Amino acid sequence: MYSGPSKTAEAIVAVFVPPACREEVLGDLHERYSSAGQYGLDALRTIPLVIVSRIRRTADPQVLLMQALALYASFLGAAWLKDRAFLSEPWGLVRLAIPAGMAMLGLILEDAYAKPGRRSQLSVARGPVLGLGLALASQGMFRISNPDLAVPNWIAAYGCAISLLLSSAVRMLFPPATDRLQGANVPADWLKQSGGSLGNPEGSIGVVKGVAAIVAVVILLLILLIAYQAWKG
């Protein structure tokens, strides 16, 4: 007699487990199966930690900082171009951070849920597109539930367009860990430290990322200073 989770339950759990570790996690959960309730509870307790671990492996803090800057600067630039008065509104600068934050979340999740191995150059843009989809969806939800938190339509549209370009550029320069060549049993940390791809001299990407991250922080501070002055004046 078959003793295991139902196909539907397994299919639901499979959706939430990142593809890179789906096979072993689903297999382990199947092996531990004793009842439907136990399986559900086991999956609920296991999947969040699996996702967190996958995010830790695929996310690079320096690149994330650059992405955050690119996204926030895009929405800030859009506000500057389309509706400068918005920047001096109460919580205007914070409201701009909401779509940028949602887009960041989309990027992080896209990397965590990407299938391991090489991806085409076109698919590099998939993360930003998903992120911006999330940003627009969040704006739509705010418009219905709490319009005070939403940013004006034109700022959202221009911000998304600019950030799609900037964010894709950052991803092309510094591809996510899942895009790099993976040798058998090469620890992900070593790949991160060595720059990952075979053509790069060891560590040179790390230096470039470090410099780019410092430049990103300086630019972010300048933007905030300019925005503060605009808000005061």
Partner 1 sequence: MAKPDSLGQFEQLVLTAILTLREDAYGVTIHSKVQELARPKAVSLGAIYVTLDRLEDKGLVASWMSDPTPERGGRAKRCYRLEALGERALQESAVTAKRIWDVIAEVWGKEWAKQWGKRWGKEAG
Q: Which residues bind partner 1 (CB under 8 A)?
A: 4-5, 10, 21, 23-32, 42, 45-50, 52-54, 56-57, 184-185, 187-190
Instruction: Please name which of 169, 157, 164 lies closest in space to residue 212, comparing C-alpha atoms.
Output: 169
Determine contact, residues 29/19, Cβ cutoff 8 Å: no
Nearer to partner 1 by Cβ, of 2 and 148: the residue is 2
Q: Min. distance of Cβ 78 from partner 1 in angstroms?
A: 38
Determine contact, residues 74/99, Cβ cutoff 8 Å: no
Nearer to partner 1 by Cβ, of 56 and 84: the residue is 56
Nearer to partner 1 by Cβ, of 46 and 123: the residue is 46
Q: Min. distance of Cβ 233 from partner 1 in angstroms?
A: 49
Q: Min. distance of Cβ 32 from partner 1 in angstroms?
A: 6
Q: Min. distance of Cβ 206 from partner 1 in angstroms?
A: 16
CA atoms within 13 A on the CB side of 188: 15
Q: Min. distance of Cβ 173 from partner 1 in angstroms?
A: 23
> How far is it, in rounded angstroms, from Cα 123 to Cα 179?
10
Torsion angle, alpha carbons of 64, 66, 68, 73, to 10? -170
Nearer to partner 1 by Cβ, of 130 and 188: the residue is 188
Map residue 23 onto helix, strand or coil: helix
Residue 127 C-alpha from the chain's centroid: 7
Nearer to partner 1 by Cβ, of 27 and 210: the residue is 27
Nearer to partner 1 by Cβ, of 117 and 187: the residue is 187
Which are the contacts of 86, defined by CB distance < 8 A and separation ≥ 6? 79, 92, 151, 152, 155
Degrees to nearest 5, angle at CA 51 with 71 and 220: 20
Determine contact, residues 128/107, Cβ cutoff 8 Å: yes
